Structure 1
């Protein structure tokens, strides 16, 4: 087993540009082509200051981390998977994976310093996420800057590189390229909107009239007006108060709305129907917010990155074989919509009834199996006392089902003399009390109502029986 190893490098402090212009964004692209990640990371950090960009990025990442999680053992590695599973969330806390993914999605590269600590006779990893601006590529190989500005090669086992878009020129595929333009447009729109509000609040006054000492006095009065609410103009003078148009804000609001939609679509693959809100990341909400293919891709790339970059080394140093490393699995399978399934089954039942009325010889077992409903082999939905297959007597089956439904409806229309009977009988002290209780209950039912409903039911049942016999005879 390898010995404890600590990553002694100190992360460099980042700098944050106060203002960004389209020309500076183009400069970031030019510098990135030389393999320097610092300007890319600083632009990404500035974009994270936008509430919409930050919110939807958090939705995408936390949607993945909130999915059902398991560790899939490698062949022969069940013991090692169990050991790792017991410590998983202390080794890979959600906040660490969150920061790693946010940087990786934005810039194309997630960087974490690795240290190895011995506990219970085994080595365990500890991750410290760095700003990817510390990375620079020289001659096709990554190097990392420390706090002193010196560059060092990435020593194996001491660094984790997570590149969800692939290892080749990953900065070209990061979200920063797509987010930069709407982010700039939104920032300018907000700045100009605030400036318009400021001008509107100041309200510039314009006066004209005869020249002379009176004009100088009026100019001084206007300058000193401040919070005064009244002013008497000298004879021959006219005063106008200038203010922006009441509609001046509309173009800025539309620009901000467009930028928010553009950033949301770039990050989630679709536009949210409502504003992003914190709170629950239940499975149903997750799949409504993040496009399914993006969620699946994030689950696969994060699993591969952690296994190749950390878990394989953990298995090699502790078990002697990197192939014994388990696979982390986040399950992106959408949850079943039970309401939609119930509606589908209801329509299926209506369709089966329609087929039966039309005399279609439908294989019900096969149909139900196709829709995922359990079917007991050898038992259909209906069994005849004669033992004949229901398909041989569809008219009889239809008539019996109709009669059963008719009886159920009849009972639902009649008062139930048995409701609460058990409780009443428990209080009776003698046979006479029981008899009196039963007589009183049945006297409360209306004989005329019972007779009328029963007669209607018998007539309908008789007609249904005749129709059923005619159908089977015609067959």
Structure 2
């Protein structure tokens, strides 16, 4: 009796009939996806990945053009919705174009597929299980585990919040419809029916004539905002679950720390979606290579032009200054830029310079220094400037008994070199040395500016 009585209440009915543990019907999915907050949050989550540029890493421009057309914006958007369903299945149709079998992806209803006892995905067609041919289907799974073999469905988690929100909204609208207008209350000691007729005419726009002893009062109904708060709470929970937080709705005052934490959480969630996208696309590329007998390496990746890799660039710069040279392939793949063979030319020029210096290939500017210069000289723009002039200047940099070359080789630091020069030279000789060093520093700065 109690259950039947409670079931007449809209919210309680939704609580008692929540099919959280049951498969969602197409109607349930349509209701959840039709919710404004769900749609808005989903678009915001996908936009974090969709703004990135698709990179097809291969030396063959023909393969790049084909695969770029395969992974167009609509397909990428559909793949990024994997988190909604848990598992997202795509049928691959192959068509021969220009002597190659080219794939075309078509999204399918995930409820039409299941895993058999062997763990293979099969198609549920004509009331039975049908084996899927090779290279015909590709799928992505979000947060798969032994507990959820078909992935963790966000729609299933949102079912409760969306339906409770809709029920609360329905109740709120009906409440306002019935009790939102002022109530007309009349008081009389005579015929109440006659006075009710007069009040009804007054509310319909007509006039009412009553005795002066009678009284009519308009009372504005008051109500608590419980259902309004309930709707806002459901919206907040929906946004929090999809985006990992609800900074706009929950933070009343500006907070840089809260904004940074919110963005970090969103980036981590977006990274999981990006990994699913790259897995599905690279899986299709592996099918494309195998069917067409392509041995060349081809990969799918994303690059965000709005997020320069400053930390990675600083790290690579530090490694380079330690004496390690990154490869041209690494630079192009990491920073998505095209490079020339200028680096190799610099290495050759530096090697020629070190070998022509009196055959001293292991020359060290000071003790414990690296054998080769950390940053090799670039080719001078002015062809009249040759590396021999640098050698001549070093040979002339000998004052009396001061062996600068020996001092540089045995010193442990530049400070020790400067201290030894200051002790060895006095008066006019020290002034000459200071002038020469100042000139050398100026020439080095000019030389560096000319050669970039």
Q: Distance in 2 between matches of 1:229 and 1:289?
A: 63
Correspondent of 1:267 among 211, 220, 242: 242
- Alpha-carbon distance, 1:300 to partner: 1.5
- Alpha-carbon distance, 1:57 to partner: 0.9
Q: Distance in 2 between matches of 1:264 and 1:67?
A: 23
Correspondent of 1:316 among 290, 295, 316: 290
Of structures 1 and 2, the one scoring higher in RCO (CA 8 A, sep 6+) is 1
Contact 1:64 1:299 in 2 (8 A): yes
- Alpha-carbon distance, 1:292 to partner: 2.0
Are 2:149 and 1:177 aligned?
Answer: no
- Alpha-carbon distance, 1:230 to partner: 4.4
- Alpha-carbon distance, 1:238 to partner: 3.7
- Alpha-carbon distance, 1:122 to partner: 0.7
1:279-318 aligned within 5 A = 288=263, 291-308=266-283, 310-318=284-292
Please list every run of 5 or more consecutive structure 2 residues that lacks an aligned counterpart in the other structure: 1-10, 251-258, 311-373, 378-398, 405-412, 420-452
- Alpha-carbon distance, 1:193 to partner: 2.8
1:23-102 aligned within 5 A = 23-25=16-18, 27-29=19-21, 31-32=22-23, 39=24, 42-73=27-58, 78-79=59-60, 82-102=61-81
Correspondent of 1:329 among 294, 301, 314: 301
1:40-439 aligned within 5 A = 42-73=27-58, 78-79=59-60, 82-102=61-81, 104-137=82-115, 139=117, 141-145=120-124, 152-166=130-144, 169-171=148-150, 173-210=152-189, 214-228=191-205, 230-234=207-211, 236-245=213-222, 248=224, 250-273=225-248, 288=263, 291-308=266-283, 310-319=284-293, 326-331=298-303, 335-336=307-308
Report the counterpart of residue 21 of structure 1 in structure 2: 14
Please give the secondary structure, in 2, of the residue aligned with 1:199: helix
Contact 2:181 2:221 in 1 (8 A): no
**Over aligned residue pairs, what C-alpha RMSD do you find?**
4.0
- Alpha-carbon distance, 1:98 to partner: 0.9
- Number of paired residues? 302
Q: Distance in 1 between matches of 2:68 and 2:243?
A: 26
Deviant stretches of 4+, over 6 Å:
375-378, 390-393
Evaluate the alpha carbon distance shift between residue 58 and residue 84 of structure 1 in structure 2; reply closer, same or farther with a 3 A threshold. farther
Q: Distance in 2 between matches of 1:167 and 1:154?
A: 23
Evaluate the alpha carbon distance shift between residue 172 and residue 112 of structure 1 in structure 2; reply closer, same or farther with a 3 A threshold. closer
- Alpha-carbon distance, 1:316 to partner: 1.0
1:61-104 deviation per Cα after TM superposition (whole angstroms, max 9, x unaligned)? 1211221331245xxxx54xx433212332122112212322x2
Q: Distance in 1 between matches of 2:128 and 2:186?
A: 65
Please give the secondary structure, in 2, of the residue aligned with 1:335: coil
Q: Distance in 2 between matches of 1:220 and 1:149?
A: 66
Report the counterpart of residue 462 of structure 1 in structure 2: none
| TM-score (normalised: structure 1) | 0.53
Evaluate the alpha carbon distance shift between residue 198 and residue 149 of structure 1 in structure 2; reply closer, same or farther with a 3 A threshold. farther
Evaluate the alpha carbon distance shift between residue 21 and residue 90 of structure 1 in structure 2; reply closer, same or farther with a 3 A threshold. farther
Evaluate the alpha carbon distance shift between residue 241 and residue 150 of structure 1 in structure 2; reply closer, same or farther with a 3 A threshold. farther
Please give the secondary structure, in 1, of the residue aligned with 2:90: strand
Q: Distance in 1 between matches of 2:185 and 2:241?
A: 48
- Alpha-carbon distance, 1:108 to partner: 0.1
Please give the secondary structure, in 2, of the residue aligned with 1:291: helix
| TM-score (normalised: structure 2) | 0.56
Contact 2:187 2:216 in 1 (8 A): yes
- Alpha-carbon distance, 1:329 to partner: 1.0
Please give the secondary structure, in 1, of the residue aligned with 2:277: helix
Q: Distance in 2 between matches of 1:235 and 1:180?
A: 58
Contact 2:14 2:164 in 1 (8 A): no
Evaluate the alpha carbon distance shift between residue 53 and residue 325 of structure 1 in structure 2; reply closer, same or farther with a 3 A threshold. farther
Q: Distance in 2 between matches of 1:251 and 1:52?
A: 20
Please give the secondary structure, in 2, of the residue aligned with 1:210: coil
